[in-house]
């Protein structure tokens, strides 16, 4: 399945893809992390339009196995460095449970963002009709 997906990328001009430069972490939670980013959008006539944005992403499985959410939480609570040593690696069932929670959180997040976009498009259409 992965090979079929990768094969479909052959016809994509990489120079037309946006580039993201991840900056400082703003905040992290049990579900993921939020960073300042710069989004470089290629212009048709060359060069880039640069947008300052906020980007969110869920924790990866590797991060969940490495107990990153707990380490970030301990860091933010300004616990001593020995607190990191006291953190025990999570059991596989805990990682699976956390991964399901993270996935559900992001599914809801995506759903809400789609609804916001739909509502914005509706308001934009209504505004255009009112101006006509």
Q: What is the pLDDT of residues 97-116, one digit of tens each?
A: 999 999 999 999 999 989 99
State how far the Cα of 60 lies from the Cα of 65, in Å rounded to an integer: 9
The Cα–Cα gap between 114 and 108 comes to 10
Q: Which residue has the tokens 């789609």?
A: 114
Residue 74 — very low, low, confident or very high, per pLDDT cuts 50/70/90?
confident
Question: How many CB atoms within 10 Å of residue 66?
Answer: 16
């Amino acid at each position: 399945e992965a090979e079929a997906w990768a094969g479909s990328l052959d016809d994509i001009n990489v120079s037309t893809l946006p580039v993201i430069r991840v900056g400082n972490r703003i905040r992290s939670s049990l579900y993921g992390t939020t960073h300042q980013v710069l989004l470089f959008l290629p212009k048709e006539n060359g060069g880039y339009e640069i947008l300052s944005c906020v980007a969110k992403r869920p924790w990866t499985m590797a991060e969940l196995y490495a107990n990153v959410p707990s380490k970030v939480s301990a860091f933010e609570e300004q616990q001593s460095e020995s607190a990191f040593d006291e953190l025990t690696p999570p059991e596989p069932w805990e990682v699976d449970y956390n991964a399901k929670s993270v996935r559900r959180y992001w599914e809801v997040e995506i759903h809400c963002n789609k609804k916001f976009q739909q509502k914005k498009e509706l308001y934009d259409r209504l505004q255009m009709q009112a101006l006509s």
